[in-house]
Every structure is written in C-alpha cells, then in structure tokens.
C-alpha cells in the first residue's frame, strides 16, 4: 500500500460517490464510513469492493481528535483506546485481504477532507448497493413496510431505515422525491441498517402505493394531526406506514386516494410534530408490540 | 447595523458559546441556529439576548446553497423561496427589536464559518439557558421523566429531549457524564424542544436516581437485551426511564442498585440496539399510550 493523495483518481471517485447521487446510481456503489460500519458490512456479506484507510491510523500514530470538544477522537468506543481500535482494524483488514477486497492507504488527512464531516472516520469503503426491486419485496409477501414520500433529510431517511429494521419491517420503499438513502449522511444515520433491510427506490408515489395495496397491505398515512390514534388501529394484519415530508407532511392531494386510513401519534407534550425517523420508530414498534402481545 | 467581521469580539463570543461547554456554563447562555428555532425561541418567551444575521441574507441577496446536493439552500422549507424566507426573517427581527433584543449583522460568510456545519444557517441567536433545578422538577410532582446516564452523542441527547417533550414527559435529567444538551448539535437535534421541556444537569447518577425514587417514581433502566418487555410493564404510575451510553449501555455496576427494573425493547428485526433517541421515543410513547388508552 502506498499513500494516495487527495487528487488521485481513486480518491476522486470516493468523493464523487460520497457527494453525487448520480455517481452512486451509475455505479451501483455507495460509501460507508468508520470501523463499525465496515465490520457490519463484512459480516453481513455485503459486496465490499475497496477499503480506504488513513495512513496515520494504519501505521499506529496516536488517535487525534478532529471534531469539537464532545466528539470522541476517531469515534473511539467508550473504554477503547487507540491501540485496541488498531487491533480491530488490523483484524478487519486481514479479513478484507482474505476476501480479495482491495485496501488502499490514503495520505494522512485525505479521508478527513474527503468526508467533509466534523468527525471524519479513519476508514471508508466502497460497497455495492444491494440488488432488490419493488417486485422482489412483493414476492416476499411482506407484513410490514414503510413507504417514504418526499422525505428530504438524509438523517431522517437513515433513521427511518434503522427504525424499520429494528422493528422487523420487511422493507423500506422510497417514492420519487425522497432523498437517496445511499447518501453518506443517510447511511451514517441508519447505523448500517441499509445493509440489512431491503431499501428500494419505488417510482412515483401513487403507483407505488397502488402496488402496495395489490400486495394486500393496508396503507396508513402518518399525519401530524387529525388522523386516527395510531394505537387504536389494528396493526396485526399486513400494513404499510406511509411517511411524508418532514416540513410539509404527506402530499394528500397527490397520494390521498391511495391511502386506506390516516393515523396520528398523539403528542401530549404539545410538540407540533415528530421527525419522520421518530414517527417511524413509534409506529413500527407499536405494530411489533401488537403482533407480539396482541392488541 | 454594520457588518461584524470574523475576528470581532461578539463573533468570538458566539464561537466560544458554540464550541465550549465551559463558556455556556459560565455565561448561562447557549446558541440557537436558524429561523425556525429563533421563531420558536421568540414565541416560547425564551430569553433571547442577541440575534446575528448574515449580511447577504439580510440585504436580500439570493439564497445560496452551501452544503451537499441534497441540502436545501439556507434550509428553506419546501415550497418556500428566498423572498418568502426573507419576509419571515424581517417579521421576526421586527419582533426582536420590539422586545429590545439586539440584532447584529455579520459580514457575508462569517456565520457559516462560525457554525462549522455543512448546512450553516443565516441566523443565530444567543439565548439564556432556562433556570431550572432538580429540586424544581421534584416539586412539580412529575409523572414521567427521562434520566440520561452517560449519553455522549449530542444528536442522541437532542433527540431524547425531543422525544421526551413530544410524549409529554415532565423533564429530562442529565447525570454527570452526559453530553451538554446546550451543545449546538444537541440543540439542533432537539428541534427546539430544549426550550420547552425542563432539562436539568443532575449530578452523579446514583444520587440523582435516589432522589427520583424519593419523588415516588419507579426507575426503569433501559437495556438492549435481558430486561423485561417494556410493553408488559405498567407505565401508568409515575415512572422514570433511565437511558445509558449509546455504545456501552447503562453502567449497571454503578447504578444497578438504584434501578427498580430493567426493561428492553424487543427487536424482531435483529438489530443489536436502538439509539438512545429512538429508545426514548419508543418508551415514552408507550407510557403515553398506556396512560391514554389503558394497558
């Protein structure tokens, strides 16, 4: 491994995949950042194409804090020191070599500049976007899915995927207008859940919802006020939670005909709305609760 | 208003309040970013001491995108254009002037550099940290509180506060070791909830939890595995959810004696854990559900 500089074409590609949806779509690849996500990708059998490591870190230099005061240096886990992390990295890189994955060492600081985040990670990897279509999801006879309509914030989209996975949803379907979940912020917010639950771009929202109905699922549109109390709805039969834009909600003029019911999470505290990630968590775990314990 | 430069002492103070917990504690002030939060601060009656506006924006220059492709330029709401936002800003600044709040215009780009975020906001304000003590919370006979023990990620801490507020919790208590919720990332993640629900630094976790017990609250420690199914616990009587570190969980050796029961959110999807923000949402909304609809 020799240090690759900021202008090297491999680094440029990394930047493109991080920054451009079009590049991700064209190549069918996305970027994961950090040791935890890389470990998750390797153990979940995701197609890890190439790994990039900061030279500083790869060669055993002490971990350096890059972010603000509260950021753990290099994202160390609590109780973990630099050398321990380095052992984890070394073990992981060994596995990558075994699998035939290429590993590139980047000059000190290059990854940090490429990442453009406050707390850059010392390792990144280019990973294949898992191949899954809307039809594949339907074939699997799903009993719980989340449909995103115009979810714009990548952090929210990532949290939706994380909630959906944790609560046992079968898939997350993203209608046109929703942010790319392979965006680095979304991948980060998903904490790797994008590697586990199928996430599928599904075309225009009305067509997507019509298809979900043909799968025999009840389509429940989440609205911040005026819908039925979500906890009074029978969520045991197959159902799809349909989540809208964080600021303007669901575009009911466009998708209202394709919803079977509107549901609302009552908020006794007086907040105006939950973010869509939290709404997804509350709704999906209520479905999981009803299915586990009955209504 | 004349443009203040990056080196001006007011700007330096803004940077200190954004970056240093010690500065926030010393001054009893924190910084909010963005038009939405400022509107919320003004209408909630928070003590807004001073407002800082980007000159570019204040003088009507077109909104410019600063972040990645998916970031809305200057955080515009969907369907909102630059001039509409400017009208909102103008109306808000007029209210600030009426209240006697000082408004400073900063040279173009200064706020962006001060913020250090990918999507800087064109307006910031210095706001008083609401005065509230642990004793104040106890006097209010709380029926639902969230206790944070070693929550380290500011985004998670903010989401905990947001969840707690939305679900109607009476307070969020932060034991020593938890990140400062007046940190700009936490304030941002809370979406202004820190202005609404009392958030109190509470000293060492064992003492804090002992006090919560004296208030007659059942203390439920959230653990990722091995606890009782949260949805089978009677959450109608006064209770406190105790949340631990995102990576290592609750320090049971330290606080185990001060917990009445351990609870777990079962995750059928196979995820290892929820982030603490999501856990707070799921737990608090289950308490709200039981209180609204019965067990």
Q: What is the C-alpha separation between A56 and A228, in angstroms, rounded?
A: 55
Rounded-to-5 percentages of helix, strand, coil across chain A: 40, 20, 40
Looking at A99-172, list the stretches that DSSP marks H as alpha helix, in order from N- to C-terminal side: 110-115, 134-139, 154-166
**pLDDT: is A116 or B215 the higher one?**
B215
Give the total residue count for chain B: 295
Tokens 């020593």, residue located: B176
A242-281 residues touching B, CB cutoff 8 A: 245, 247-248, 265-271, 274-275, 277-278, 281
B151 sits in which H/E element: none
Structure confidence at residue A112 (pLDDT): 83
**Contact across the interface for A77 and B169, Cβ inside 8 Å:** no
Q: How do the pLDDT tens digits run along chain B, 295 residues long?
A: 557 776 788 899 999 999 999 999 999 999 999 888 999 899 888 999 999 998 877 665 444 433 333 333 344 444 566 677 788 888 888 999 888 999 999 888 888 888 866 667 789 999 999 988 999 999 999 999 999 999 999 989 999 999 999 999 999 999 999 999 999 999 998 988 999 999 998 899 999 999 999 999 999 999 999 999 999 999 999 999 999 998 889 999 999 999 999 999 999 988 877 889 999 999 999 999 999 998 7
A109-168 residues touching B, CB cutoff 8 A: 116-118, 150, 152, 154, 159, 162-168
Cα angle, residue A110 at apex, residues A108 and A114 outer, rounded to 5°: 155
CA atoms within 13 A on the CB side of A144: 25
Q: What is the C-alpha separation between A244 and A247, in angstroms, rounded?
A: 9
pLDDT reading at A71 higher than 70: no
Give the residue-averaged pLDDT of A57-65: 52
Q: What mean pLDDT value characterizes chain B? A: 88
Structure confidence at residue B254 (pLDDT): 96
Structure confidence at residue B59 (pLDDT): 63
Q: What would the two tokens of residue B222 be? A: 């959230």
Side by side, which strands form the sheet with A261-264? A199-201, A171-174, A144-148, A239-243, A218-222, A261-264, A228-229
**Contact across the interface for B166 and A278, Cβ inside 8 Å:** yes
**Contact across the interface for B231 and A292, Cβ inside 8 Å:** yes
Q: Which of A161-175, A275-289, B1-15 has the lowest mean pLDDT?
A: B1-15
Name the band, by pLDDT with cuts 50, 70 and 90, for residue A118.
Answer: low
**pLDDT: is A273 or A54 the higher one?**
A54
Beta-bridge partners for B171: B145
C-alpha torsion sign, points A173, A177, A180, A185: negative
Burial of B87 (0-12, 13-18, 19+ CB in 10 A): exposed
pLDDT reading at A274 higher than 70: yes
pLDDT reading at A151 higher than 80: yes
Percentage of chain A exceeding pLDDT 70: 89
Does the CB of B45 have a partner CB in chain A at under 8 Å?
A: no
* Contact (CB, 8 A) for A88 and A39: yes
Is the model's pTM score more than 0.80?
yes
Sequence-distant (≥ 6) Cβ neighbours of residue B46 within 8 angstroms: B127, B128, B130, B195
Structure confidence at residue B78 (pLDDT): 47
pLDDT reading at A43 higher than 90: no
Burial of A139 (0-12, 13-18, 19+ CB in 10 A): exposed
Beta-bridge partners for B48: B127
DSSP type of residue A72? P
* Contact (CB, 8 A) for B160 and B146: yes
Beta strand pairing status for B144-148 and A261-264?
Answer: unpaired
pLDDT reading at A69 higher than 60: no
Structure confidence at residue B233 (pLDDT): 98
């Amino acid at each position: 491994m020799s240090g690759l500089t900021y202008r090297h074409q491999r680094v440029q590609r990394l930047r493109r995949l991080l920054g451009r949806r079009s590049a991700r779509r064209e190549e069918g690849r996305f970027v994961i950042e950090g040791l935890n996500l890389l470990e998750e990708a390797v153990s979940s059998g995701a197609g890890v194409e190439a790994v990039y490591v900061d030279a500083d870190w790869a060669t055993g230099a002490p971990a350096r804090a890059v972010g603000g005061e509260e950021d753990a240096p290099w994202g160390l886990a609590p109780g973990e020191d630099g050398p321990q992390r380095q052992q984890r990295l070394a073990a992981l890189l060994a596995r990558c070599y075994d699998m035939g994955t290429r590993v590139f060492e980047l000059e000190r600081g290059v990854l940090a500049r490429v990442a453009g985040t406050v707390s850059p990670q010392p390792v990144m990897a280019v990973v294949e976007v898992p191949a899954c279509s809307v039809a594949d999801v339907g074939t699997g006879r799903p009993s719980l899915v989340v449909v995103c309509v115009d979810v714009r914030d990548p952090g929210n989209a990532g949290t939706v995927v994380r909630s959906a996975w944790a609560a046992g949803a079968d898939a997350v379907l993203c209608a046109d207008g929703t942010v790319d979940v392979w965006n680095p912020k979304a991948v980060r917010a998903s904490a790797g859940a994008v590697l586990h639950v199928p996430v599928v771009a599904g075309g225009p929202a009305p067509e997507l919802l019509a298809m979900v109905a043909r799968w025999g699922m009840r389509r429940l549109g989440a609205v911040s006020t005026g819908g039925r109390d979500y906890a009074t709805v029978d969520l045991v039969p197959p159902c799809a939670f349909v989540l809208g834009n964080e600021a303007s909600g669901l575009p009911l003029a466009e998708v209202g005909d394709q919803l079977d019911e509107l549901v609302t999470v009552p908020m006794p505290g007086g907040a105006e709305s939950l973010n869509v990630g939290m709404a997804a968590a509350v709704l999906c775990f209520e479905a999981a609760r009803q299915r586990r314990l009955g209504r």
